[in-house]
Structure 1
């Protein structure tokens, strides 16, 4: 059975963060792997994507992007073929027939909604996209469709937690060079290394953009193997591939 994780901040908006449960993939990708870029059986991925969309917004067309760890956002006014996905890391829509999806396997999935305006958005925030402003970009795309940022609620789904996210000094310096206050998102680790709280950083970026309601779910993809895919966990094990989870949102 699919295990939809929902946020109180998004209330009755059709949405969910989905992990491994309920899919047909096997082996390294066992479960609900939705990654078109993985080496999984394409038929299994297609079935998993169908199941995921149906679990959140039955009858709606699933719309995703070709994620490139950017700060680029696009507006979806109609579904596009999977092979023609635009290269971006966030998307927004005001069309009830669509369900937006972003994929992740440690990176931060963010779902957003302005229910008054009837506009929703989704963003994939890896560290590079988060630092470069992908959350600002998706808020801007939503505003182009009539949303008002003071009315936007956001939920941050399963991602790698600080305890699991070791980075080196060069990584930390990218963030402190952008803003010295970013030092607060890093705890000292072993010599020359830090533990980075990317969930807290993304929460900060959303709050700094003017959002008043932000729900960070605090679920660690790396630590919970039974529930979530994790790129870093697969890398540490020397595995040749990894699955992707999906965060979905649509209009009721």
Structure 2
């Protein structure tokens, strides 16, 4: 990695209109794309996945760039070992780089940048700017079904957030038109709640369906009593801006990068 490459790119995240409107000066957030980093090849360029086979030096530099956008050192970038669970970790000012197995984080500590990684799964950022509590959740189909979003809201409330002050945004994730599933998948959801049928539409393949994970996730957020929006950006179909696990699988590529979504309470 040359010095020129280190300096050439600047990551520019996508922001949520809803979170921006309610953040005032208390919260900063961003859904980062795959652009603005130093990785190359199939990881080009802002790959932040420590679990990928990318050059670790490049990954660390990419994560440093994300932290820098928040005005923080990379050591203040809080992530977890994501395992498709409903589990939430509360992070305080003593954060020292731990990565417990969980799929969501919450904090009331200024300067800690809560992050989740994704490459088709749904990154959700939460904020109660008035009471200065934020959260971030990784919601694939397993986490969404198990209640990771609802658990994140409850963990924020335990830190002093108020349900009617919490806003959330679902960032770039795989869209309905890109997510075909088999009959066993559909049955698993319908056995939980027959009402989930509204999130499936027949595909061109007999017995299969197209699954609208973003719609399900957004609906669950709203039913939990908070304001929520979906950016409506499909990671699978937008190769230029996003990594996609499913697209990589269909293309027979050996590995894939991960993009990052992050939120922090600003330091007073």
Shorter-chain TM-score: which interval? over 0.9
Equivalent residues, number: 248
* Structure 2: unaligned runs, 5 residues or longer: 1-9
Partner of 2:6: none
Partner of 2:192: 178
Q: Matched residues in 1 for 2:211 and 2:119: separation? A: 16
Partner of 1:41: 55
CA contact (8 A) 1:53 1:248 kept: no
Q: Deviation per CA, 1:62-94: give whole Å up to 9, x if none.
A: 10000000000010003232xx31100000000
SS of residue matched to 1:16? strand
- Say whether 1:90 aligns with 2:99: no
Q: Matched residues in 2 for 1:80 and 1:225: separation? A: 34
CA contact (8 A) 1:113 1:120 kept: yes
SS of residue matched to 2:65? helix
Match of 2:79 among 42, 64, 67: 64
Task: Between 4-13 and 186-195, report the one with greater CA deviation.
Answer: 4-13
Task: Between 173-182 and 223-232, report the one with greater CA deviation.
Answer: 173-182
Relative contact order (C-alpha < 8 Å, sep 6+): which is higher?
1
Deviation above 6 Å: which 4+ runs of structure 1? none
Q: Matched residues in 1 for 2:250 and 2:12: separation? A: 26
Q: Matched residues in 2 for 1:152 and 1:121: separation? A: 10
Once the two structures are TM-superposed, the CA of residue 174 in structure 1 deviates from its matched residue by 1.2
SS of residue matched to 2:241? coil
Q: Structure 2 matches for 1:32-181, cutoff 5 A? A: 32-55=46-69, 57-59=70-72, 61-77=76-92, 78-81=94-97, 84-181=98-195
- Say whether 1:210 aligns with 2:225: yes
Q: Deviation per CA, 1:100-141: give whole Å up to 9, x if none.
A: 000000000000001111000000001001000000111111
Partner of 1:9: 18
- Say whether 1:192 aligns with 2:204: no
Q: Matched residues in 2 for 1:137 and 1:86: separation? A: 16
* Structure 1: unaligned runs, 5 residues or longer: none
Match of 2:241 among 227, 239, 244: 227
Q: Matched residues in 2 for 1:174 and 1:136: separation? A: 20
Q: Matched residues in 1 for 2:186 and 2:62: separation? A: 36
Once the two structures are TM-superposed, the CA of residue 2 in structure 1 deviates from its matched residue by 1.5
Q: Matched residues in 2 for 1:156 and 1:118: separation? A: 20
Q: Matched residues in 2 for 1:19 and 1:114: separation? A: 24
